[in-house]
Amino acid sequence: MRMSSTLIFTLFAFSLFASFAAGWWVDEYKSGILWPEPKVLDSGPPGGPPADAIVLFDGKSLDGWEGGDKWKVEGGVATSVGGGITSKQKFGDCQLHVEFATPEKVEGSGQGRGNSGVYLMGQYELQILDSHGNPTYFDGQCGSIYKQQPPMVNVSRKPGEWQTYDIVFTAPRLNDDGSLKTPGYITALHNGVLIHNHFELQGTTSYTEPPKYHKHADKESLHIQFHGNPVKFRNIWLRENIEPLVGKKP
């Protein structure tokens, strides 16, 4: 027996209505947690800084850095020379944005080419290096957590081109006797590409020793290394207060 087109349409319409009705009558899951309203924040122009950021270099001066008077500041750019710089403010957990460019004129090779580094808490280094066609050991190339972990991928741009680091850092917590309470973690994006995903730090950075934790305060200064190469920097900013919202159960 063949069904008429009218009957087929009627059955289809009824099935569709039943599906919608079943969806409307399903009980919605509610956690019961009372969440605080997320703060409204002006994210700023592309690349930041957001409204709540601490601007560490705005293109005008390095007054917020020890040793900043040695570096060359011109045209909104700071060029490393004469030693590293150390922030006068101290930080723990943070989101950090840094823009850098290795020298356009290629000189040297391996670790001698466009070398610098961002030291979180002055202890934990995310390496800066000209790694565009410049072989070196993998846990020392650009984007590596120095001597601990290579980047997932090498997304280094050509010498002289501007690059970005966006870093989310969870500071380690140490007991009063200096023993480790909870390790530090780093998530990092290089030129917008994820290169470390919540990597557990094994300790501080050393060229001569395996990584290990040393007693330090809950907040320490940021340090940018000078390694003999005129690496350029601009648009450095940092955000604190990056803890997740905490809700309450009624």
Domain containing 92 — which CATH number?
2.60.120.560
Does 203 map to a domain?
Answer: yes
Does 34 map to a domain?
Answer: no
Percent of the chain with pLDDT over 70: 90
Q: pLDDT category, 9, cuts 50, 70, 90?
A: low
User: Is 105:122 a contact under the CB 8 Å cutoff?
Assistant: no
Does 189 map to a domain?
Answer: yes
DSSP state of 11: H
pLDDT higher than threshold 90 for residue 1: no
Does 5 map to a domain?
Answer: no
Q: Name the β-bridge partners of 91.
A: 220
Enumerate residues 6+ apart whose C-beta is below 8 A from 132. 156, 157, 158, 159
Distance CA 240, CA 96 (A): 9
Segments forming the whole domain that contains residue 201: 54-239
pTM metric for this prediction: 0.88
Query: What is the number of domains present in the chain?
Result: 1
Asked whether the bond before 38 is cis by omega within 30 degrees of 0, the reply is: no
Average pLDDT over all residues of the chain: 92
Does 17 map to a domain?
Answer: no
Distance CA 178, CA 187 (A): 25
pLDDT higher than threshold 80 for residue 197: yes
Q: pLDDT category, 151, cuts 50, 70, 90?
A: very high
Comparing CA positions, the residue from 50, 72, 53 lying closest to residue 62 is: 72
DSSP state of 58: -
Model pLDDT, residue 31: 87
DSSP state of 161: S
Q: pLDDT category, 13, cuts 50, 70, 90?
A: low
